[in-house]
Amino acid sequence: MRVLVTGGSGYIGSCAARHLAAAGHEVVILDNLSTGHKELAQDFELVVGNIADRKLVDGLLARVDAVMHFAASAYVGESVVNPRKYFANNVESGLALLDAVLASKVRTFVFSSTCAVYGVPRALPMTEELAREPINPYGASKLFFERVLEAYAVAHGLRYAALRYFNAAGAHESGEIGEMHEPETHLIPLAIRAALGTGPELKVFGDDFETPDGTCIRDYIHVSDLAEAHVKAVEYLSAGGDPVALNLGTGKGSSIREVIRWTEEVSGRKLPHEVVGRRAGDPPALYASAAKAERVLGWKARRDLEKILKSALEWELKKGAVMR
Ligand SMILES: NC(=O)c1ccc[n+]([C@@H]2O[C@H](COP(=O)([O-])OP(=O)(O)OC[C@H]3O[C@@H](n4cnc5c(N)ncnc54)[C@H](O)[C@@H]3O)[C@@H](O)[C@H]2O)c1
């Protein structure tokens, strides 16, 4: 299959591109490099441009069988202070991309959604049937796009998979690509930098939650596990599978203290950290029920927190050389 990967110069899209190629598929990447890096797309055809550039996208769609849509603005905190950016890029530009798709022969579409569409979950583990009640503009922008996909499936026969990722982490096993967000807001790279002394001491936002050790629990999923789910999803859809929304998580939550302990274990260093106040709107625990993805795609996460931290540490040590 030939797959257009939007946002393929970013963290998760670049990993998915590699897994697609390893599974025998052809990849074309479209990325405006707003937060992506051309080095992460090395070995692939990279078209630098915007998903809303209709002429450019029409030309690319004529060459492919499916779209994987990773391109988006993806910082929860930034979405609160600058919501216009999130609705413009994730909704308006996303709709322009979908217009182009509907005008083409392509009907297979895999979308990067997020567990942020659920907001504060009413039950754990989180199943796909929970109410979708996002609590920030980022989550709202992703939920809006999911609703558009649902309507276009009914009206236009679009076959989509909305993949709701939990916390993506770790790096591709090759050590050639990994997380490169600027600024970095994700716990695992920040924890590793604190341990290595290349970043500030880690801030732990609250240790008085109703969790076993008082710190927040999240479901960390290896980026290669996510990538493998994408390959299975695009193959499932192109074999005629029904439109579907799936959680992509491990089904197991890890607390911040557990992440700190494992970071110290794999790095062999003490991790300087300080407990500060809670952040507004941080739910105590978020973890997926991964049962539906296993049932529909025959997929489940294979890599644990130790593997995540080892690969993230290796990438952190190597990335200076790769990104020269
Ligand atoms: N990282 C996570 O934990 C996580 C969790 C849930 C969902 N997601 C979603 O996964 C996707 C990828 O996230 P990521 O962490 O790899 O982020 P990223 O910032 O590394 O990747 C996004 C890529 O999209 C590109 N892009 C953005 N807007 C574009 C546009 N208008 N036209 C063309 N290219 C554009 C950027 O340059 C970047 O390369 C996003 O849709 C994000 O919302 C990420």
User: pLDDT tens digit string along 129-171?
Assistant: 999 999 999 999 999 999 999 999 999 999 999 999 999 999 9
Q: What is the pLDDT of residue 236?
A: 98
Q: Who contacts 14 (Cβ-Cβ below 8 Å, separation ≥6)?
A: 8, 36, 40, 41, 172, 177
Q: Smallest Cα–Cα separation from 76: which of 219, 183, 194, 148?
A: 183
CA distance 181 to 283: 23
The answer, as to whether pTM is greater than 0.95, is yes
> Please, where in the chain does CATH 3.90.25.10 lie?
187-217+252-288+304-322
Query: Which residue has its alpha carbon closest to ligand 1 atom 4?
Result: 168
Using most ligand atoms within 8 A of CB, pick from 9, 28, 31, 42 the residue to mutate for ligand 1.
31
Which SS3 state, helix, strand or coil, does residue 154 take?
helix
Question: Would you put residue 228 in left (φ > 0), alpha (ψ -120 to 50) or beta?
Answer: alpha
Whole-number average pLDDT of the chain = 96
In 3-state terms the chain splits into helix, strand, coil percentages (rounded to 5) of 40, 20, 40
**Helix pair 256-267, 305-322: axis angle to 10 deg:** 60
pLDDT one-digit tens code per residue, 190-242: 999 999 999 999 999 999 999 999 999 999 999 999 999 999 999 999 999 99
Quick one: average pLDDT of 3-16?
Answer: 98
Residue 73 alpha carbon to ligand 1 centre in Å: 6
Has 138 been annotated as catalytic?
A: yes
DSSP designation for 241: P
**Helix pair 137-156, 94-103: axis angle to 10 deg:** 10
CA distance 191 to 263: 7
CA distance 233 to 110: 7
Confidence of residue 184 (pLDDT cuts 50, 70, 90): confident
Pairing of strands 254-255, 217-218: antiparallel
From the list 138, 160, 165, 220, the catalytic residue is 138
Q: What torsion do the CA atoms of 23, 17, 45, 28 make, to the nearest 10 degrees?
A: 80
CA distance 106 to 65: 6
Q: What is the pLDDT of residue 323?
A: 59
Q: Is the domain defined by 187-217+252-288+304-322 classed in CATH 3.40.50.720? A: no
Q: What is the pLDDT of residue 281?
A: 83
Q: Torsions phi, psi of 212, nearest 5? A: -55, -40
Where b means 16+ CB within 10 Å and e means fewer, 93-129 reads: bbebbbebbeeeebbbbbbbbbbbbbbebeebbbebe
CATH superfamily of the 2-169+221-249+293-297 domain: NAD(P)-binding Rossmann-like Domain (3.40.50.720)
pLDDT at 324 over 80: no
- How far the first Cα of the chain sits from its last, in Å, is 33
CA 197 to chain centre: 27
> Please, where in the chain does CATH 3.40.50.720 lie?
2-169+221-249+293-297
pLDDT one-digit tens code per residue, 60-91: 999 999 999 999 999 999 999 999 999 999 99
Q: Which residues sit with their C-beta closer than 6 Å to ligand 1?
A: 6-7, 9-13, 30-36, 50-51, 70-72, 74, 89, 93, 112, 114, 165, 167-168, 181
